[in-house]
Structure 1
Amino acid sequence: MDCGIFTSKTVLLFLSLVFWAAGAALAYVGAYVIRSYDNFDNFIQDRYTLIPAAIIIGISVVMFIFGLVGCCATIRESKVGLGFFFVIIMLIFVAEVAALVFGFIYQGKQIKGDLERSMNEVFSKYDGQDTETKAVDYLQNQQLQCCGVWNHTSWANTTWSTSHNGTAPLSCCKNTSSAVCTGRLDQPELLKTEQGCEAKLENLLQGVLVYAMLVILGFAIIKLFGMLSVCVITCKNGTRRSGYQPLYA
C-alpha cells in the first residue's frame, strides 16, 4: 500500500477516533472558563469576555456529531465523505483560530479594564448586608485571600469606611476569628496587605484563558494535519489509483 496513503488514512482515522475525546476535553475547558467567570460574576459585567468559552463549547458539540462521519469516510475513502469531513475540519480549525484571537484580545487590557471598572463599582456599594456585600466578603476571605481593589488602602474612600470610622470590612483581617482585628486601616499588620483583589482575580482569569488557549492551539495543529491528509488521499485517488483500497492491504 502507498506509504503516503497509509499514513494519511491512519492520521485521519486517528483524528476521527479522538474527535469524541477532543470534544469532551474542549467541553470541559469551556465549562471551566464559564464556571471561573461565573464564580466572580459580581465583578465582571462585560459578558463578551465569555466569547472564547462559548466558541469552545460549540466546537466540542460539532466534534461529537461528526466524529463518526470522519471514521466512515476515511475507511471507505469516499470522496464525498472526505470532502465533507475536510469542510468540517476546516470550519473547526477556523473557529479555533477565532477563539485564539478572542483569547489574546481579552487576555490583556480587556480583562484588566473590565475588572477595574466592575470591582470599583461593587466595592463602593459595600454595605455589609446585600448580595454584592456577601460576594465581596467571600472574595476577600475565602476565594482570593485579598483586601481592597488595589490593596487595603482602597477602602479608605468608600462609603463603608467613611461610616465605620475609617475601617475595612472584617473579611480583610488575616484571621477573621481574632478579636484583635477590627479592620482599622492604620493596623496593616492585621490585614491582608500582600496584593489587592483586582490583581489576584486578573491573574486567575488570565491563567484560565492561557490554559484554554493552549488546549485550543494543540487541537488546531491536529486539524491542520487532518486537512493535509484529506488532500493527500483525494489527490492520489484521482491521479495514481482507481477504486477502493483498504486501509490495511
Structure 2
Amino acid sequence: MDCGIITSKSVLLLLSVIFWAAGCGLAYVGAYVIKSYNNFEHFMEDKYTLIPAVIIIGAAVVLFIIGTIGCCSTLRESTLGLSFFMIVILLIFAAEVAAFVFGFIYRGKINGSLERSMNDTFSKYDGKNSESRAVDFLQSQLHCCGVRNYTDWFATPWYSSNNSTVPQSCCKSNATGCTGRIDQPALLNTEGCETKLEKLFQDVLSYAMLVVLGFAIVKLFGMLSICVITCRSRRNDYQPLYA
C-alpha cells in the first residue's frame, strides 16, 4: 500500500482531532473576550468590538461538525465527503481571516471611544446605580482610581456631595482605615483606569488574534492533506486506511 496515502490519511485524521480541540480552544477564546467585554461594557461605546468574538464562537461550532465529517470521510475515503470537508475548511479559514482583520481594526479604535464613555459613566456615579457598580468593579479589579488619575473625581457630583471623598473602591486592597479621603493618598490607588482598561482590551484582542492566526495555519495543512488524498484516490483504487 502507498506509504504516502497512509501518511496523508493519518495526518487528516489527526487534523480532525485537532479541529475538535481547536473548536474547544476557539470557544474558550470567544467566551473570554465576551466575558471581558461584559465586565466593562459600561465603558465601551462600540459594541462592534464583539464581532471578532462572535465570529470565533461561530467558527468553533462549525469546527466540531467538520471534525466529525473529516474523520468519517477520511476513513471511508469519500471523494464527496472530502470535497465538502475542503469547502467547509475554506469557509472557516475565511471566517478566521475576517476575525483577525476585525480584531486588528477594532484594536486600534479602542482608545478613541474609551475615554468618552468612561467620563460619562464616572460622572453618573452615585454609589447605588448600575454605573456605580460597574465603576466600583473596575476600580477594585484593576486597582485604579478615576479615568486618568484619582483627581478626576474632583469634578464629579459624587465628590462634591460626599465630603470631598472618592469612592472606597479607590482604596488599596491592603489599606486599613481607608475612607476615600484625599488627604490619605498613601491609602489610595492614584493611577487612572483608562490606561489599564485599554491595555486589558488590547491584550485580550491580541491574544485572540494570535490564536485565530494559529488555527488558520492548521486549516492550511488540512486543505493540503485533502488535496493529497483526493489526487491519490483518483489515480488508485479504493484503499482502506489499514490494509
Task: Decide whether the 8 Å contact of 2:126 with 2:132 is kept in 1.
Answer: yes
Instruction: Find out whether 1:215 has 2:211 as its counterpart.
Output: yes
Task: Decide whether the 8 Å contact of 2:11 with 2:225 is kept in 1.
Answer: yes
User: Which of 188, 201, 206 pairs up with 1:205?
Assistant: 201
Q: Which amino acid aligns with 1:140?
A: Q
**Over the residues paired in the alignment, what is the CA RMSD in angstroms?**
2.0
**Residues 151-230 of structure 1 correspond to what in structure 2 (within 5 A)?**
151-174=149-172, 178-179=176-177, 181-184=179-182, 187-193=184-190, 195-230=191-226
Moved more, 81-90 or 40-49: 40-49
User: Which of 234, 239, 242 pairs up with 1:245?
Assistant: 239
Moved more, 87-96 or 160-169: 160-169
TM-score, normalising length: structure 2: 0.91
Instruction: Find out whether 1:16 has 2:16 as its counterpart.
Output: yes
Q: Which structure 1 residue ranges, 5 or more long, are not aligned?
A: none
Instruction: Find out whether 1:7 has 2:3 as its counterpart.
Output: no
Matched positions, count: 243
Using the TM superposition, give the Cα deviation of residue 111 of structure 1 relative to its aligned residue in structure 2, in angstroms. Answer: 1.5
TM-score, normalising length: structure 1: 0.89
User: Which of 203, 222, 232 pairs up with 2:228?
Assistant: 232
Partners of 1:58 and 1:139 in 2: CA distance: 29
In the other structure, the counterpart of 1:106 is 106
Task: Decide whether the 8 Å contact of 1:173 with 1:183 is kept in 2.
Answer: no
Instruction: Find out whether 1:130 has 2:122 as its counterpart.
Output: no
Output one character per residue of 1:188-239: Cα deviation in whole Å (capped at 9) or x when no partner: 333212x31111111122222222222211211110011111112222333x
Task: Decide whether the 8 Å contact of 2:171 with 2:178 is kept in 1.
Answer: no
Task: Decide whether the 8 Å contact of 1:170 with 1:176 is kept in 2.
Answer: no
Q: Which structure 2 residue ranges, 5 or more long, are not aligned?
A: none
Task: Decide whether the 8 Å contact of 2:34 with 2:50 is kept in 1.
Answer: yes
Partners of 2:87 and 2:173 in 1: CA distance: 58
Q: Which amino acid aligns with 1:171?
A: S
Task: Decide whether the 8 Å contact of 2:180 with 2:188 is kept in 1.
Answer: no
Q: Which amino acid aligns with 2:198?
A: E
Structure 2 CA distance for partners of 1:160 and 1:60, relative to 1, 3 Å:
same
Structure 2 CA distance for partners of 1:201 and 1:236, relative to 1, 3 Å:
same
Partners of 1:176 and 1:165 in 2: CA distance: 23
Using the TM superposition, give the Cα deviation of residue 181 of structure 1 relative to its aligned residue in structure 2, in angstroms. Answer: 4.3
Structure 2 CA distance for partners of 1:167 and 1:2, relative to 1, 3 Å:
same
